[in-house]
Amino acid sequence: MSLQGKTAFITGGAQGIGLAIGRQLAQDGAAVILADINGEKVVAAGEELRREGCKALPVIMDVADEQSVNQAVATASRELGAPTILVNNAGIYTKTPAIEVDLKIWHKVLDTMLTGPLLAARAVAPAMIAANWGRIINMGSMMSYLAFGQDVGYSVVKAGMLGLTRSLAAELAPHQICVNTICPGNIMTELMEETARNIEKRDGMAPGTFLEQRPKQIPLGRIGAPEDIARTASYLCSDAADYVTGQSLHVNGGLYQS
């Protein structure tokens, strides 16, 4: 699945799923831009990939700020070429009970994980249209379809990601730009560890219990790794996925079956 000559722009690229996707696409031949609000972490991530022989550029960016997004894409274009691959991965998770959620938190969640992907797509779309080729991958979730309570912010934005994907896919298809959503299940990242602690606190479980018990509930018997998502992204970015657009792909070990 060669991506030689392509440039990929990955939000939330400093760690976890974003960094794994950056590494995979770089191994596939792409130049990768790792964009993240955490400057220290994203610089370290970029250095890590370069030590591995990858062509990688870290940029500090606030995905919820249009000027910051546009500047980051402009910097990436000057340094590595205009991105024709976008992975909208940046995300946050915070407890958001519907009846009590602070509206400042509500808007921060929406701005980061729904408005942000739109801003990023708008910033890279002109280069994709000019190239008559592009790939946009939006990061959904099993929670694009499910909710567990006290998660109204996360559930709403991940469901909204499906609508954003379908709308972009329909609008950009004439330019041979494919837009899809990956919906991960439980993937072992720092966010997953934090979520496990929140669930244990919410449900009165002993520390460590959730991650110990969860694999028993997953048909394939394990919690996923970031590389499981990265390999799916690799496929969607490749020419093998030329006829795949407007879709949501579930990568969850069978925990949720569509």
Active-site amino acid positions: 154
Q: 250, 237, 20: which is closest to 158 by C-alpha? A: 250
Enumerate the β-bridge partners of residue 254.
none
Rounded CA separation 15/165 (Å): 24
The string of DSSP codes covering 187-228 is: B-SHHHHHHHHHHHHHHTPPTTHHHHHGGGGSTTSS-B-HHH
Give Cα 253 distance to the centre of its chain. Answer: 18
Enumerate the β-bridge partners of residue 105.
none
For 41, counting Cβ atoms within 10 Å of its Cβ (0-12 exposed, 13-18 middle, 19+ buried), the class is middle
